[in-house]
A and B are shown apart, each in its own frame.
Chain A
Amino acid sequence: MYLAHGITRALAPPVQKFQSSIILKWILGFCWYLLHLVVSLVDMVCFLNHLLLSSIISTGLLRKYQNLKLNNLNCLAIVVDSEEAEDITKTQKLLSWLSSIDVKCITLYDLQGVLKRTIGNDFKSMTNTSLRECKMSKMTVEILSLSDGKEGIAKAANFLISKYMKDDSLRCNGTKPTFSESQVSNALEAIGYKGPDPELLLVYGPARCHLGFPPWRLRYTEIIHMGSLRFMNYGSLARALYDFSKKNQNYGK
Chain B
Amino acid sequence: MEKHSQRPEPKNLNSVWRFLRRCLFSVLSFGPMPKHIAFIMDGNRRYAKKMQIKEGSGHNVGFTSLVSSLQYCYEMGVKYVTVYAFSIDNFKRKPEEVGSLMHLMKEKIDQLLEEESIVHKFGLKLNFWGSLDLLPEPIRSAAEKAMVHTANNTGPVLSICVAYTSTNEILRAINKSCARFEDKTGEGSDPANSILVTDLEENLDSASCSEPDIVIRTSGETRLSNFLLWQSTFSHLQSPNLFWPEFSLRHLIWSILEYQKVYPYLEARRKLCQES
Contacts and interface: CB of A to CB of B under 8 A. Distances in A.
A216 to B, nearest CB: 6
A169 interface: no
A219 B182 contact: no
A121 B26 CA distance: 51
A72 interface: no
Given A36-B257, A153-B170, A158 B179 contact: no
B269 A111 contact: yes
Contacts of A40: 261
Size band of the interface chain B makes with A: 35 or more
A192 to B, nearest CB: 15
A50 to B, nearest CB: 15
Residue of A177, A207, A216, A219 with most chain B CB atoms under a 10 A cut-off: A207
Interface string A22-61: 0000001101100110011001000000000000000000
A195 interface: no
Interface stretch (B133-141, B148-156, B234-242): B234-242
A223 B223 contact: yes
Given A209-B237, A252-B92, A216 B170 contact: yes
A207 B175 contact: no
A227 interface: no
Interface stretch (B64-72, B100-108, B121-129, B189-197): B189-197
A222 B166 contact: no
A178 B265 CA distance: 40
B182 A222 contact: no
A3 B266 CA distance: 47
Contacts of A149: 233
Interface residues of A, number: 56
Contacts of A224: 222
Residue of A154, A177, A180 with most chain B CB atoms under a 10 A cut-off: A154
B143 to A, nearest CB: 20
Nearest to B227: A219
B193 A158 contact: yes
Contact of B89 (A178, A211, A252): A252
B230 to A, nearest CB: 5
A211 B233 CA distance: 5
Interface in A166-193: 171, 176-181, 184
Interface of A: 28-29, 31-32, 35-36, 39-40, 43, 111-112, 146, 149-151, 153-158, 160-162, 164-165, 171, 176-181, 184, 205-212, 215-216, 218-225, 249, 251-253
21 contacts: A28-B27, A32-B31, A36-B261, A146-B273, A150-B197, A155-B193, A158-B193, A158-B195, A161-B191, A161-B194, A162-B190, A165-B188, A208-B236, A215-B170, A216-B167, A218-B229, A219-B167, A223-B237, A224-B222, A252-B88, A253-B92
Interface of B: 26-31, 87-93, 165-168, 170-171, 174-175, 177-179, 181-182, 187-197, 199-200, 222-226, 229-230, 232-238, 254, 257-258, 260-262, 265-266, 269, 272-273, 276
